[in-house]
Amino acid sequence: MADKQFVKEIADINVDFPQWYTDVVLKTQLVDYGPIKGTMVIRPYGYAIWENIQRELDARFKATGHQNAYFPMLIPQSLLDKEAEHVDGFAPEVALVTVAGGEKLAEPCVVRPTSETIICSMYSKWINSYRDLPLKLNQWANVVRWEKTTRPFLRTSEFLWQEGHTVHATREESMAETLDMLQLYHDFARDILAMPTFIGQKSEKEKFAGAEATYGMEAMMLDGKSLQAGTTHHFGQKFAKAYDITFLDKDSKHKHVWQSSWGVSTRLIGAIIMAHGDQRGLVLPPKVAPIQAVVVPVAAHKPGVIEKATEVAAQLRQLGIRVELDTRDQSPGWKFNEWEMKGVPVRLEIGPRDIENGVSTYSRRDTCEKATLPLDNIAQSVANLLEEIQTNMYNKSLAFRDSHVKVAHNMDELQEALDSKCFAKVVWDQDADCEALLKEKLQATVRVMLDEPVFQDSCTICGNKSDKLVVALVARAY
Amino acid sequence: MADKQFVKEIADINVDFPQWYTDVVLKTQLVDYGPIKGTMVIRPYGYAIWENIQRELDARFKATGHQNAYFPMLIPQSLLDKEAEHVDGFAPEVALVTVAGGEKLAEPCVVRPTSETIICSMYSKWINSYRDLPLKLNQWANVVRWEKTTRPFLRTSEFLWQEGHTVHATREESMAETLDMLQLYHDFARDILAMPTFIGQKSEKEKFAGAEATYGMEAMMLDGKSLQAGTTHHFGQKFAKAYDITFLDKDSKHKHVWQSSWGVSTRLIGAIIMAHGDQRGLVLPPKVAPIQAVVVPVAAHKPGVIEKATEVAAQLRQLGIRVELDTRDQSPGWKFNEWEMKGVPVRLEIGPRDIENGVSTYSRRDTCEKATLPLDNIAQSVANLLEEIQTNMYNKSLAFRDSHVKVAHNMDELQEALDSKCFAKVVWDQDADCEALLKEKLQATVRVMLDEPVFQDSCTICGNKSDKLVVALVARAY
């Protein structure tokens, strides 16, 4: 019955997943379309999720010795052109400022699609000695990439992200940074987003333009597709050579530096939605939920109800729980539906009977179970419940994922896996022709290479034997 | 002697204030010039000040019922054109994206110089009923205004800011919001930046393009010039009518909404520098200082010194003090100079003699006094000292300001006041010709009108009698 009501508001998740996604992001007021095609307005409920992501990530960045800075958004066209692969990769989707202050500019400016070029030009000026290294900066910023096909959070012409850019004296250090940040993303997704991810190196084809190696974090969505949720790049000395970033080492020799970069974006909000949602709408992990618990008075006109509900909300707030007291002039049923659609982890009801019994009826969003909690010490009980929900959501996602990964020994098995909405582990000879075939025949891609022992002596895709065999994760992807 | 050393690095504050400012912002690594003229790179030390400003302001915004959101940076040209005064005010300095994704755009996009237009277009869609009001949103964002003459933090082609945009059912509410936020800025400047400010309404001429009334917060810099450090605007129903924002009120009538907007920017960093700095460089108020205390080991090779310095730093960190332990391979004297230039409020020295005596020699940046603190309970002593420095810096700024405001009864007194690097309180008949005269003869402007009783019966500037006389603050300004 409650589910039926929602069918009216949002598409059936099992029938039309893309429409379900669109309905959910719009109707829960996470986001709206901006006036220019492909842009999004991040509404307060969506932005609060981003703020929680930022706070958690920023603390982890700082704890690992990174500092924030801010680099200009407008980059001279000529600066972008210095690294050949990089400009080839990004030129097709850049936005250009050609007129400013009423005059045509002598040289157009690129609105940053990413900031390697401008940051490297500054690093070249700032770095002189080994004493200046390592330099580990991050920026929180907007970027613009003119995309043909867009969807809120997943692919938009403008999005918000963080981009870390680090500089080191040796290859070992920059490589360690590249992998450490990949692990940091993985742990963050696990601990905060309740989202298990696969991490590993990307193929040559999927590499970031200008990088020596790219590593990715891939998350499984409920439709069995993969979402690239974060990447880290090892540049080796490629940008250092293009932008002339050198330092005087302890041995009195001038050397080029070694670099990494890494980023995650507002796309993570899309990942949360598609990894945890259900028929009723959003299911938000407590650690990123803008509202962790909502208190709904029932029979609010009865004496003592509003007072008790207010008192309970205050107790929760006191303990640091993000709580909302819903005293709006609407029926409890209407409110229950709305807060369920919005994915609030815990709903507390306070009515005359609850008060009489010294309890609050609660409903947890992850399982939709209802039960009661004693009013005595209720804040601590809710805090415990939130912990339990966070853990349960991760375990549920992990179980879902583990039951949706198949080992494919040949193309038939691979197709069968993908068609049954699973990821596939394959053995791959790292040949680009195999990737082309995957794309053409199965609309799938190699997401990452996994650090696992190969389970057969020939490539799952082409059947060839090779001394370059690796285990790769293949999936259809966003 | 120490001062002499600095004369080499930074210009004399009493001789060439503008050069002193430029030297300080560059040499303390707050900022650097970006590759495109007029843009700035905010380096980690500068960005950390901005983060502290953001954290303090954001908490105050949220405590007064505001939520954050994010609106697209690119605005269709046609949307900007809807409010006539607004577009006239901003058109001369906008940057235009005309090419994107490899194609010429059918309609150019404006890079936001401010976001009223795009936000109002969304509000028009979102607001239907009195139940949707008030709507009180804020965004932290970058904006672009193509300026002819630029200086880091004070006036740059791109800067960071926050812009609040609120919508209300009645004029009374939107007016109250406009004034409340002005007071919030004033209190924030006093409590966090240790900076007394004048607040009041701006003249017609200085009003924000499209506003019904603009209010400003003006701070006195050490050269006697005024810096506009924040503004709030009351729009009345002007934008509501241009963008068709209406709501169904409780009385079942459709009405236009009432609106305010308000903002402060990275300009505040410039204000801090010029309100508190001295011959040796920056003097940072503890509440925004990225590093509140630095611990410098003296004779670091002697047994126990590094250990004790590390222990003291850990104790301070434990108490929530932002502390840096400086173990770099440089002399203590070199470090003292550097941290003084960088404006760190408290420097602690730990040497063998200090340890023997159970003390740490400290130097406070605001007064440059040196004394000792017992090592017992040193963290709490430093916390107390930081409080004292914060208070002292405010009192010092207030005393400076109060001694640099003169009452001007006529143009001669006004000129004398301005030439002696003071602000002047004048009586003004609110005639625009007087403002033009001020500008032409004295290179000065009416900063704000003050809510004070008029002290004579004719205008200080033109000498005319009028029934529109007000007290106004006149100054030369940034």
Would the pLDDT of B3 be above 70? no
Q: Say what the pLDDT of residue B445 is.
A: 98
Q: Is A123 exposed, middle or buried (0-12, 13-18, 19+ CB in 10 A)?
A: buried
Condensed to tens digits (0 to 9), the pLDDT of residues B321-341 reads 999 999 998 999 999 999 999
Would the pLDDT of B174 be above 90? yes
Would the pLDDT of B68 be above 50? yes
Cα-to-chain-centroid distance, residue A120: 26
CB contact under 8 A, B41 and A97: no
The Cα-based distances of A221 to A29, A342, A433, B139 in angstroms read 21, 19, 27, 30
Would the pLDDT of A416 be above 90? yes
Q: Say what the pLDDT of residue A469 is.
A: 98
- Mapping DSSP to helix (H, G, I), strand (E, B) and coil, where does residue A46 land? helix
Would the pLDDT of A146 be above 70? yes
Q: What is the DSSP string of B218-270?
A: EEE-TTS-EEEEEEEEEEETHHHHHTT-EEE-TTS-EEE-EEEEEEEETHHHH
Q: How far is the C-alpha of A49 from the C-alpha of B155, rounded, in Å?
A: 33
**Mean per-residue pLDDT of chain B:** 96
CB contact under 8 A, A146 and B100: yes
Best of A96, A121, A166, A291 to disrupt the B interface by mutation (most B CBs within 10 Å)? A96
> Residue B86: which pLDDT band, with cuts at 50, 70 and 90?
confident
Average pLDDT estimate for A26-44: 97
Give the residue with greater pLDDT, B83 vs B402.
B402
Q: List chain A residues with CB under 8 Å of B94.
A: 100-101
Q: List chain B residues with CB under 8 Å of A76.
A: 35-36
- Are A124 and A237 spatial neighbours (Cβ–Cβ below 8 Å)? no
Q: List chain A residues with CB under 8 Å of B67.
A: 44, 47-48
Nearest CA in chain B to A46: B69
Nearest CA in chain A to B30: A69
Which residue type does A63 have? A
Q: How far is the C-alpha of B22 from the C-alpha of B4, rounded, in Å?
A: 18
Q: Is the dihedral of CA A351, A355, A357, A358 positive or negative?
A: positive
Tokens of A81: 């052109």
User: Which uninterrupted H or E stretch holds A254?
Assistant: strand A254-256
User: Which uninterrupted H or E stretch holds A190?
Assistant: helix A171-191
Pick the closest to residue A344 from A394, A382, A401 (CA basis): A382
Average pLDDT estimate for B285-292: 98
User: Under CATH, which architecture does the B293-385 domain have?
Assistant: 3-Layer(aba) Sandwich (3.40)
The Cα-based distances of B196 to A207, A281, A471, B400, B472 in angstroms read 53, 50, 65, 10, 17
CATH topology of domain B405-475: Translation Initiation Factor IF3 (3.30.110)
Q: Say what the pLDDT of residue B461 is.
A: 97
Q: List chain B residues with CB under 8 Å of A79.
A: 35
Q: Please list the residues that pair with A346 across neighbouring strands.
A: A293, A364
**Number of helices and strands (H, E) in chain B?**
15, 23
Q: How far is the C-alpha of A57 from the C-alpha of A37, rounded, in Å?
A: 30
CB contact under 8 A, B35 and A142: no
**Mean per-residue pLDDT of chain A:** 96
- Are A467 and A475 spatial neighbours (Cβ–Cβ below 8 Å)? no
Q: List chain A residues with CB under 8 Å of B48.
A: 67-68
Would the pLDDT of A4 be above 80? no
Q: Say what the pLDDT of residue B4 is.
A: 46
Nearest CA in chain A to B101: A93
**A286 prior amide bond cis, ω within 30:** no
Q: Say what the pLDDT of residue B8 is.
A: 65
Q: Between A and B, how many residue pairs show a Cβ–Cβ distance under 8 A? A: 165
Q: Say what the pLDDT of residue A324 is.
A: 98
Average pLDDT estimate for A173-182: 98
The CA distance from A335 to the nearest CA of chain B, in Å, is 15
Q: How far is the C-alpha of B174 from the C-alpha of B257, rounded, in Å?
A: 9
- Are A76 and B36 spatial neighbours (Cβ–Cβ below 8 Å)? yes
- Are A257 and A125 spatial neighbours (Cβ–Cβ below 8 Å)? no
Nearest CA in chain B to A45: B69
Nearest CA in chain A to B67: A44
Which residue type does A231 have? T
CATH topology of domain A16-276: BirA Bifunctional Protein; domain 2 (3.30.930)
CB contact under 8 A, B67 and A48: yes
Would the pLDDT of A136 be above 80? yes
Pick the closest to residue B365 from B394, B336, B333 (CA basis): B336
CB contact under 8 A, B69 and A47: yes
Q: Which residues of A126-164 are buried (b: 16+ CB within 10 A; e: fewer)?
A: ebeeeeebbbbbbbbbbbbbbbeebbbbbbbbbbbbbbb
Q: List chain A residues with CB under 8 Å of B75.
A: 35-36
- Are A74 and A117 spatial neighbours (Cβ–Cβ below 8 Å)? no
- Are B117 and B77 spatial neighbours (Cβ–Cβ below 8 Å)? no
Helix axes B171-191, B44-63, angle to 10 degrees: 140
Q: Say what the pLDDT of residue A435 is.
A: 97
Q: How far apart are the first and last CA of chain B?
A: 33
Would the pLDDT of A2 be above 90? no
Would the pLDDT of A7 be above 50? no
> Residue B1: which pLDDT band, with cuts at 50, 70 and 90?
very low
Best of A41, A45, A129, A155 to disrupt the B interface by mutation (most B CBs within 10 Å)? A41
Domain residue extents for chain A: 16-276, 293-385, 405-475
CB contact under 8 A, A99 and B98: yes
Condensed to tens digits (0 to 9), the pLDDT of residues A293-332 reads 999 999 999 999 999 999 999 999 999 999 999 999 899 9
**pLDDT > 90 fraction of chain B, expressed in percent and rounded:** 95
Nearest CA in chain A to B55: A55
CB contact under 8 A, B72 and A41: yes
Residue with tokens 């303090």: B56
Condensed to tens digits (0 to 9), the pLDDT of residues A350-401 reads 999 999 999 999 999 999 999 999 999 999 999 999 999 999 999 999 999 9
Residue A250 phi, psi (nearest 5): -60, -30
Q: Which CATH superfamily is domain B2-276 in?
A: Bira Bifunctional Protein; Domain 2 (3.30.930.10)
Q: List chain A residues with CB under 8 Å of B42.
A: 69-70
Q: How far is the C-alpha of B206 from the C-alpha of B435, rounded, in Å?
A: 10
